[in-house]
Amino acid sequence: MSDYMEYKGFLGTVEYSSIDNLLCGEVAGIQGLIMYHGDNLADLKRDFESAVDHYLLCCKEEGKMPQMPCYGELNVKISPGIHKLLHVYALKNSKTQNEAVEDALRLYITA
């Protein structure tokens, strides 16, 4: 199991490399590889935050929008049958399909 750190909306993994005898990790959920490491948790956290800050600075200098892993939009492909059931459920409960999916995910993930 991997733990996570959070900084400025980015999640970073916390792992151990027995080869290097270091804590290490990578920024999760974005394209490209942003890695960091440290001898202890404080160093790892500092290097993670530095890596995120560097990524954001590079994006700004290049005039690009940074890729945010959890910005509130998720495209999910489901079967037509489930989509129909979702549509009917949402109508019966005076909800949008997005609200119904969010409710279902919240129940599933926090259960």
Residue 94: inside a domain: yes
Domain limits at 92? 80-110
Look up the pTM and report it.
0.69
Residue 10 shares a structural domain with residue 53: yes
The token pair at 41 is 């948790």
- Quote the pLDDT of residue 31: 83
Does residue 71 sit in helix, strand or coil? Answer: coil
Q: Are residues 84 and 49 in the same domain?
A: no
pLDDT confidence band for 1 (50 / 70 / 90) = very low
Residue 17 lies in a domain: yes
Half-sphere exposure of 89 (CA within 13 A, CB side): 14
Query: pLDDT tens digit string along 7-64?
Result: 999 999 999 999 999 999 999 988 889 999 999 999 999 999 999 999 999 999 999 9
Q: Do residues 58 and 92 both lie within one domain?
A: no
Q: Give yes or no: residues 16 and 53 share one domain.
A: yes
Structurally, the chain folds into a number of domains equal to 2
Bridge partners of 28, per DSSP, are 11
Q: Give buried/exposed letters for 38-74 (b at 16+ CB in 10 A, else e).
A: beeeeebbebbbebbeebeeeeeeeeeeeeeeeeeee
pLDDT band at 2 (very low <50, low <70, confident <90, very high): low
Distance CA 23, CA 47 (A): 11
